[in-house]
Homo-oligomer: A and B are copies of this chain.
Amino acid sequence: MVKVGILGVGTVGASVANILKNNADIIEARAGKKIVVKSGVVKNLSKDRGVDITLTDDYLDIINDPEIDIVIELMGGVEEPYKIVKEALKNGKPVVTANKALLAYHRYELQELAGDIPFMYEASTAGGIPIIGALRNGLSANHIDSIKGIMNGTCNYMLTKMINEGALYDDILKESQELGYAEADPTFDVGGFDASHKLLILASIAYGLDAKPEDILIEGIENITQTDVTFAKEFGYEIKLLGIAKKVGDGVELRVHSTMIPSSSMISKVDGVMNAVTVIGDCVGETMYYGAGAGGDATASAVISDIVNIVRGNHDPMLGYKKSLESGLRLLSKDEISSQYYIRLEVDDESGVLAKIASTLGKFDISIESMLQKPSKKEDGVKLLFTTHICKEVEMQNAIKSLKLLDVVHEGIAMMRIEK
């Protein structure tokens, strides 16, 4: 029999306890041993958790219990769980975590500390979708060309409503908050930070690349308007918040932002709260993994799969590499990114404006791919929407600064990147 202890018995922790009990037959048959929860740690002992396991409010009751074989960390936060799982590893206990933030900041230290002790985290990225396993095991023969993921259900739900139902950003944010999909302070989701944690985890497995959230480009969905949605439709794009990791030469671009992607691509068809990750490998071509990115039971499914893997005695290297790659790939800076871009601006409705804009872009070696002009609500104004051919991010940022200085250009230039 294998005994586990759960740090943090919230929604996911309760699901883990209940599934280990309700599906005990099949889990034991697959793992080879019975797996039971011995105890759980909570901050507030008086609250009903809907589980029939022993509860304590002292994490040492689990970390120091010689009967506990595996520690499940579901507390959330960064530094507090970091301190506790380090103690668990020092006591020789394998760790399973669903904590993306912990990994976004400390995965390489944890790998070092864990050594041969299993440290598993399938649930940290894209909830119930077994993407960590797919990337670490299933695609191990491949140099990874790119990863593109819809890894935040809140953003995807909001974008789907904006695109399919014409909802306005502020209205749908309010609805998402009422439905419990978005927090009172939604910045972590809509600002792209949640997705960035998951992207960093996947980038480590794909590229052996160490980076922290503050090292990479992170933008959210806050500035998308119905004008952008309409343009996207007309030009055959969907808009998604994507986490993107992409090999370019000897470097890797890591970035999270709202993105126009062709409506014909599989990942563009992923709607509502669902998540999906597309991985392109040099042998396998494109593969995609789709499912629920959140929710107690779906996340618990991933947590328990890690426990089963540990019980079976599997030995996957924590971050996918047994040795480091000699020809390491370097993280490209934000300026070095290249992309196609979509630009929206409001300008004076008079002759010669377009020439001024095109000439400004030209100074930065940016050429226009397609253009659409629409009437504006403002008198004497007109909306210009266009897409560019591939150019460097630094040139685009400088071009936008220059465009803002033109007297024919009104305030509020919007930009979105395009991935084909």
Q: A residues within 8 Å of B by Cβ?
A: 15, 19, 23, 25-33, 122, 128-130, 133-134, 137-143, 208, 266, 269-270, 281-292, 295, 297-298, 300-305, 308-309, 312-317, 320-327
Q: Which of B129, B137, B282 contacts A287 (CB 8 A)?
A: B129
Q: Given B29, B134, B305, which contacts A130 in the complex, CB threshold below 8 Å?
A: B134
Set B27, B28, B133, B139: member contacting A138, Cβ < 8 A: B133
Distance between Cα atoms of A140 and B33 in the complex (Å): 13
Which residue in B130, B284, B304, B305 is a CB contact (below 8 Å) of A292? B284
* Pairwise interchain contact A304-B140, C-beta atoms closer than 8 A: yes
Whether B269 contacts A128 by the Cβ 8 Å rule is no
Contacts of A317 in B (CB 8 A): 30, 32, 312
Measured CB to CB, the nearest residue on chain B to A269 is B269
Complex: how many Å from CA A304 to CA B143? 13
A–B pairs, 20, beta carbons within 8 Å: A19-B141, A25-B325, A30-B317, A129-B138, A133-B134, A133-B138, A137-B137, A137-B309, A137-B314, A140-B304, A141-B304, A141-B305, A283-B304, A284-B291, A284-B297, A288-B289, A312-B315, A313-B315, A314-B314, A314-B315
A409 to chain B, nearest CB (A): 40
- Shortest distance between the CB of A392 and any CB in chain B (Å): 28
* Complex-state Cα separation, A137 to B309, whole angstroms: 7
Closest CB in chain B relative to A315 CB, distance in Å: 5
Given known pairs A286-B291, A297-B283, the reply for A30 and B138 (CB within 8 Å) is: no
Starting from the known contacts A137-B137, A287-B291, 4 additional A-B residue pairs (CB-CB under 8 Å) come to: A19-B283, A130-B287, A140-B304, A283-B304
The CA of A314 and the CA of B137, in the complex, are separated in Å by: 10
Nearest residue, chain B, Cβ from A323: B29
Asked whether A305 lies within 8 Å of B140 as measured between CB atoms, the reply is yes
Least Cβ–Cβ distance between A308 and chain B, in angstroms: 4
Take A291-B287, A320-B30 as given contacts and tell me if A300 and B141 are in contact as well, using a CB distance cutoff of 8 Å.
yes
Point out the residues of chain B lying under 8 angstroms from A288, CB to CB.
Answer: 288-291
In the bound assembly, the distance between CA atoms of A361 and B50 in angstroms comes to: 49
When distances are taken between beta carbons in the complex, the residues of chain B under 8 Å from A322 are: 29-33, 312
- Contact at B314–A23, with CB atoms within 8 Å? no
Report B-chain residues with C-beta under 8 Å of the C-beta of A128: 283-285, 287
Q: Which residue of B lies closest to A320 (CB)?
A: B30
Listed from nearest, the 10 A-B pairs whose CB atoms lie closest are A130-B138, A32-B322, A141-B304, A287-B291, A128-B284, A284-B301, A288-B290, A283-B301, A140-B308, A283-B297
Shortest beta-carbon distance from A340 to chain B in Å: 24
Residues of B within 8 A of A141 (CB): 19, 23, 27, 300-301, 303-305, 308
